[in-house]
Structure 1
Amino acid sequence: MKTIIAIAAACIPLAACQPAAPTGNEIDPAVSAEGSDALPDLGNGEMRLPVEPDGGIGDTPGTVRPDPAGPLLQPMTYGEFSPVVASGTGCSFSADDQLLFVATAPDDRAARAQGAVKYGGTVGTLNATRPGGYRALRQGGIFAGSDITLNVGRGTGKGSADAIESTRWPATLTVTELSVGDRSYQGTWSCGA
């Protein structure tokens, strides 16, 4: 009799560890809303959230938005971009302390900024789609190359001081490749001499 009670007592904690019976309202991470603009209704007024490839459901500032279909930029060093971009006043975009885009422009409103980005293991050049020289470059803007387009969305206001003769703003850099898709980076747009 004591043995039966001991076995029964040992089974009670094990029963408590069993998962609850499914209710039909659980979110299955393997299911996504891909290919559909509408989120599936679970039948009780709740909506199923789309799940990103890494299992998350939102972006974290300063990181790459998980998007396996979007183009991925690679960090650059001065030695990589300096041969393709003229020296002078310019701006750069960094995310997680990694330099992803550099552009320079003369103080000439008729000039277009020229930038460099590392993509697919190669550093390539991009040109601003509108003139305005360095003044326009400080505002961010759109830069086009042979394979990709970058859109720098700079934060508003005067920015904050960043070293001597340099100012920085929070910014979003969106990279688009027509045949692949797009990817957004949250980071910092820094401009100066």
Structure 2
Amino acid sequence: MKYLYAIAAAPLLLAACADTVPVDEFQPDHSVAELDQVNSGAPAAPAATNARLPQSAAASLNLGAVTKGDFGASIEPGRGCDFTSAANQILLVAAAPLGVNSRPRAVVRLPGGVQSLDAMRDGGYNYLTEGPAFQNRQGLTITVVREDNVAVPAPVMPAGTPTPGSAAAGAKMAAQSWPATMTVITEGAEQEYPQGVYSCGG
């Protein structure tokens, strides 16, 4: 299921993160969640709002399935994550290089082809698992918000399992999954992929 609607905040968000992105001044991990909180007590917007979006803008945000092969580089065991939609399609593949301060990278598939994005913060694998945000130089922003309020059985970490981001983190990590919503944002529109699953490690 997908919801498409225009947002007034998107131009401000992109203006603050244009081109090289001042990563220390933006908190994309929380922006979608905060927007939902602000809007939760307000009346629903009229259905006609969606009709004002140009058809080309709407179509440009439709994501297609991607694979690890689309990532364009080998992914270290236990250092990759992906987002699976409610329709059971993998729509994002991401990975973090070794090092606690490395910057993760992700790929998605738009109608024009596979797009590569960089994380909006350093932080290595830890940042990747927290619910990351990515952006490219064309102003495409993608956020993954974990729904931690939904009960999910916690994975049992084997004794001696290295901490994510540690020097030994090249070893295979136990897989973790969370209910999550992924949001695709451009200057004129936003498209949400709710009720998905964000999985890391394994």
Shorter-chain TM-score above 0.5: yes
Correspondences of 1:102-121 after superposition (within 5 Å): 102-121=93-112
- The whole-number CA distance in structure 2 between the counterparts of 1:154 and 1:86 is 26
Correspondences of 1:35-184 after superposition (within 5 Å): 50-51=46-47, 68=58, 71-79=61-69, 81-82=70-71, 84-88=72-76, 89-95=79-85, 96-147=87-138, 148-156=140-148, 159-160=152-153, 165-178=174-187, 180-184=188-192
Instruction: Quote the sequence identity (%).
Output: 32
Alignment-derived partner of residue 27 in structure 1: none
Structure 2: gaps (5+ residues): 1-5, 7-42, 51-56, 156-172
TM-score, scaled relative to structure 2: 0.56
1:188 partner letter: V
CA gap 1:188/1:133 in 2 versus in 1, 3 angstroms: same
Q: For the pair shown, which has the larger CA radius of gyration, 1 or 2?
A: 1
Residues 94, 189 of structure 1: 8 Å contact kept: yes
Q: Superposition RMSD on alpha carbons, in Å?
A: 3.3
User: 2:122 is paired with a residue of what secondary structure?
Assistant: coil
Correspondences of 1:3-22 after superposition (within 5 Å): none
Structure 1: gaps (5+ residues): 1-33, 35-46, 55-66
User: 2:92 is paired with a residue of what secondary structure?
Assistant: strand
- The whole-number CA distance in structure 2 between the counterparts of 1:111 and 1:48 is 41
Aligned residues between the structures: 134
Residues 86, 104 of structure 1: 8 Å contact kept: no
Residues 76, 117 of structure 1: 8 Å contact kept: yes
- The whole-number CA distance in structure 1 between the counterparts of 2:118 and 2:106 is 6
1:71 partner letter: L
Alignment-derived partner of residue 18 in structure 2: none
Greater fraction strand: 1
Deviation at 1:140, TM superposition (A): 1.3
1:50 partner letter: P
1:71-109 C-alpha deviation (Å, 9 max, x unpaired): 111112343x14x24412111001021000010013422
Deviation at 1:161, TM superposition (A): 5.8
- The whole-number CA distance in structure 2 between the counterparts of 1:106 and 1:135 is 11
2:115 partner letter: G
Question: 1 or 2 for the larger relative contact order (CA 8 Å, sep ≥6)?
Answer: 2
- The whole-number CA distance in structure 1 between the counterparts of 2:82 and 2:122 is 18
